[in-house]
Structure 1
Amino acid sequence: MPSKMKYSAAFHLVTGLSGIGFAAVIFLVNMIILVPAGEPAPGSDVGAIVDFYGAEDGAVTLASMFLPVSWFAATLFGVGAVSAARGAERERSEAWSLAGLAGILLQNGTFAVLSAVRITLAETGGSVAPEALAVFHDALLLLNGTFLALALTGLSIAGLRSGVVRRWQASVGFCAAVLQFASAVLAPLVLEHGGALGYIGLAGWLLWVVWLVCYGIALMRFGKRRSLGRA
């Protein structure tokens, strides 16, 4: 029995750190590499988007190299969150955590396509149907808010009802989910008009990063409590 307890603590330590690592990587890729390089916001002029990916192929290449790490870490984090919540969920015949994991896996797939589009634009210098690819890229980025909202909602409810996260941490997740889903619903308007509408998704994304860090810490604490026989 003690060996199983130790394994549980180690598992949730790894998956909790994976959540924090995922947050760190996506913050690095977006706020430290791409935004300072001049990446246009969704809804920007198509010409500006094409020019950016044609001129900043180095930044795009560097950012793309980090993304496989983020998908790997995100999946481990999602599995850890499911593991922590499933015991309590089975007693209630619920599966919110599985819905959250599905959202994470779907956003991983969406960003794999996004990364491929970015690399295509960078490597071709914007010479292969650049306008269409640029719009396709922004549309995917905005619609991905649907999957982030699913992950935030499912894992926040599961974490709250199983005692993994506190109410304020779940509330951050719910707020981020509303903003992300609103951004996805408004995607056609953001693409057409841009401007202030784009900040809805940005605000939701920043809360998503905060939520990931908080949830990762909560998973590590859960594993520690469980190893001590308190969970």
Structure 2
Amino acid sequence: MTALAGIAGLGFAVMLVAVNPVLLRAGLPLPGSTRPLAEISDSLACAASRIRAPSVIVPLAWLCTTVFAGGLVATLWGDDPGTNTLALIGFAAFLMQSAVFAVVEALRFGLVSAATRAPGSVAGLWTMANVLGGFNRVFLTLALVGFGAAGERTGLIPGWHAWLGHLCAALLLALAMLTPYSLGGDRHPTARRIDSLGWLAGGLAWITWIVAFSVQLLAH
């Protein structure tokens, strides 16, 4: 199970790196884009037929994250109730973030459909998708803290790996709290810029954390 979880974690990281650029090349606007709504709506309409193919493998990403998280729980589980609790928090957070991203993915298809058939509804759906993705960072925070702390307590991961997760968790939590100003309704310019930079830094740290944990599982 440990090796399978490691492979699943690496598979998820590869899919994450591969799918997002394809979606962007298909014309899908970046979350929280500052472009005028009319341009966003036009981009969504043009991307309607091009987001289907890359979205086919998205369910595999959710499958991989669940196997990865389940394998982590099995590896970290022991006689210490505190460590077990932290591992369960991490597992629950992975399940929640997958559920939220499933809704965000569904909203993407709703957006491209609205852009071609009912442009007047794009604004509400676009804001909802952005805010939902922003608040989802809370679950990423819990996953990083739960599994990171449990992994450090059991000696599965080195100190630098745990601290990378803690720093990334702090950044993601701050960005989640900033969501009403950076992504919701009339967005504050400074909050929007902070969110854009944090989105890139947090995303890179998240992928690095998963890859490092996956390597540790394969070597365990």
* TM-score, structure 2 as length reference: 0.88
- What are structure 2's unaligned runs of at least 5 residues? none
For the 8 Å contact 1:142–1:184, the answer to whether it is kept is yes
The 10-residue stretch of structure 1 (160-169 or 37-46) with the greater mean CA deviation from structure 2: 37-46
Amino acid at match of 1:207: A
- The CA distance in 2 between the partners of 1:183 and 1:62, in whole Å, is 31
**Unpaired stretches in structure 1, ≥5 consecutive residues:** 1-10, 223-231
Q: Which amino acid aligns with 1:17?
A: I
Match of 2:95 in 1: 105
RMSD: 1.8
Give the one of 171, 180, 196 matched to 2:172. 180
Q: Letter of the aligned partner of 1:189 in structure 2?
A: Y
Instruction: Give the corresponding residue for 1:4.
Output: none
* Alpha carbons 1:40, 1:48 under 8 Å: kept: no
Q: What is aligned with 2:63?
A: 72
Deviation at 1:196, TM superposition (A): 3.6
* Identity rate, percent: 30
Number of the residue aligned with 1:209? 207
Q: What one-letter code is carried by the residue in structure 2 that aligns with 1:140?
A: L
When normalised by structure 1's length, the TM-score is 0.84
What are the superposed Cα offsets for residues 41-78 of structure 1, whole Å, 9 maximum, x if unpaired?
41524334322221112342233212100000000000
Partner of residue 19 from structure 2, selected from 22, 29, 43:
29
Q: Deviations over 1:152-178 (max 9, x none)?
A: 110000111111111111111112111
Aligned ranges 1:1-231 → 2 under 5 Å: 11-30=1-20, 32-38=21-27, 39-45=29-35, 46-87=37-78, 89-90=80-81, 92=82, 94-128=84-118, 129-191=121-183, 192-193=187-188, 194-222=192-220
Contact 1:41/1:198 (CA < 8 Å) preserved in 2?
A: no
Look up the equivalent residue of 1:144 and give its one-letter code. Answer: N
Q: How many residues align?
A: 210
**C-alpha deviation, 1:84, in angstroms:** 0.9
Q: Which amino acid aligns with 2:91?
A: L
The Cα shift of 1:26 comes to 1.3
